[in-house]
Amino acid sequence: MDFSIGKILKGDRILWVVLVFLSLISLLIVYSATGRLAYREAGGNTGYYLIRQLVFLLLGFGVMTFLVNVIPVKFYTYIAPLLLMITIGALLAAIVQYKLTPSKPTPRSLDLGFLSFQPAELAKISLVMFVAKVLAKRQKTKEDLKKAFLWVMGVSGVVCGIIFYGDISTSALIFASIMVLMLIARIPLKFLFLTFATGVLLLLLVYSTADYLPEWAGRVHTFKERIDDFVSGDDDAELGTTQADYAKLAIYEGGTFGKGPGRSEVSNYMEAAYNDFIYAIIIEEYGIVGGFFVALLYLILLYRGVVIVRRSKRTYPAFLTAGLVLLLVFQAVINMAVSVGAAPVTGQPLPWVSMGGTSMLFTAVSFGAILSVSYHNQRKNQVVEPPVVVDMPDEDEEL
């Protein structure tokens, strides 16, 4: 058997290269940004979180390699409904656990004892798989597209509605990605415009009534506070002490070329330097040039996603790839926008770069599915030439 790198890392080679670069950046910046956390949680062992991140990156590459080599693309269509039901159950269980556990800060995570994860990460994958299946089956007539729209809106409304209770930004991220995916799938613009207008009105209603809603109404109060802080600043914090202020300071000190690897100082004062604001630390150490390079990697991811979609012969693999790529790129854009002060704080990590645990494995599943589709395309597009048959004389025939 051939165990060469080229035979194992199948699929889009450029996408694999992007993942390698993002992994290297992740290791460098997580090591720099977790100094404060290491002294607080790991007894000063600054290498602990570096090793932890390396382990999860390697596990993620293992997941991607397994998916692209073993799991066929058709499998995702079969498992999508079951996975969606598991997702809804996990989301509801997280809320119930939050209500029954006073010490639990948010309903975002579900603690199973041996494992803790955020069901919203699973929702990103399962919902895209299911929506891609619905859209792929209903593409022939206008009536099919209308039915597909109703199905997608019904299922997405339930999933995103449950997520909305504990994580408004993730709910909006997923719903926005589904909206763009429906646009790609030729859903009539009047339906999409009506949905968009309804969503905007809902957010405005939540914002305007947040002060009158009780504490059990979810994170609507946090939603309003973050928007107010973004527009007019945080009145309760001293100047320069908020996470967003520290992020701006990191970018200012980074300048054009940065301070150099491991020389971040601002990360020692930030609570989420290794997660929500990791892009600001990248710019502090590697400058605007480094920040541009990271942004370029996600643009390449978007471009390769477009290439994979265009090469797909069937609608389901195309829609699956489009949905997953949109989620990853939108999430990256949100993280970078928050870090540079262009958007309110949302709590969205930088995909495949921010420090994570099970969230990185869910991200690996997304990349693995995209790579599986690209490998599927390569196999379908290969032109196999018939073997050349050369007539050889019989042994008894004179030459």
- Measured CA to CA, the distance from residue 298 to residue 287 in angstroms comes to 17
Q: Which portions of the chain are predicted below pLDDT 50? A: 1, 383-399
Q: What are phi and psi of 188, to 5 degrees?
A: -50, 140
- pLDDT value, residue 235: 58
Task: Tell if the pTM clears 0.85, that is, is over it.
Answer: yes
Q: State pLDDT tens for residues 13-44.
A: 999 999 999 999 999 999 999 888 888 888 88
Q: What are the backbone angles phi and psi of residue 110, rounded to the nearest 5°?
A: -120, 120
Exposure on the CB side of residue 231, measured as CA atoms within 13 A = 6
Phi, psi of 139 (to 5 degrees): -130, 0
Give the residue extent of every domain in the chain. 8-378
What pLDDT score does 391 carry? 47
116, β-bridge pairs: 111
CA atoms of 268 and 250, how far apart (whole Å): 11
Quickly list DSSP for 121-136: HHHHHHHHHHHHHHHH
Q: How far apart are CA 71 and CA 67, in angstroms?
A: 5
Residue type, 112: L
Backbone angles phi, psi at 135, to 5 degrees: -65, -35
Distance CA 135, CA 280 (A): 38
